[in-house]
Amino acid sequence: MSNIIRKNNQPSAWKTQAYMIGAAAGALFGLVAAIMYSRAAEEGAQRNGGPNKATTGEVIGLGLASLAMVRQIAEMGKGPAKKR
């Protein structure tokens, strides 16, 4: 057990902090998105007389936008490019 626990946890402390901030931000983003979606779906159901179904194209577009956002966040970790 002692070989697993390090005496100096400082190098990995920033990782834990980044994970915690990312998890909290993701949960908050997901909650806001769910609230907005449910409000829009409820209004749409009242107007159209029934629930609206998401199309395959909409879901694929949302997935691609999510991947692009994750890629941009990953690029932020690299920092600015060095000049040659």
Cα torsion 50, 55, 58, 60 to 10°: value is: 140
Angstrom distances, CA of residue 63 to CA of 15, 56, 58: 26, 11, 9
Per-residue pLDDT at 4 exceeds 90 = no
Tens digits of residue pLDDT in 34-76:
999 999 989 988 888 877 888 999 999 999 999 999 999 999 8
pTM of the shown model = 0.67
Tens digits of residue pLDDT in 11-44:
688 899 999 999 999 999 999 999 999 999 899 8
**Domain spans in the chain, listed from the N-terminal domain onward:** 18-71
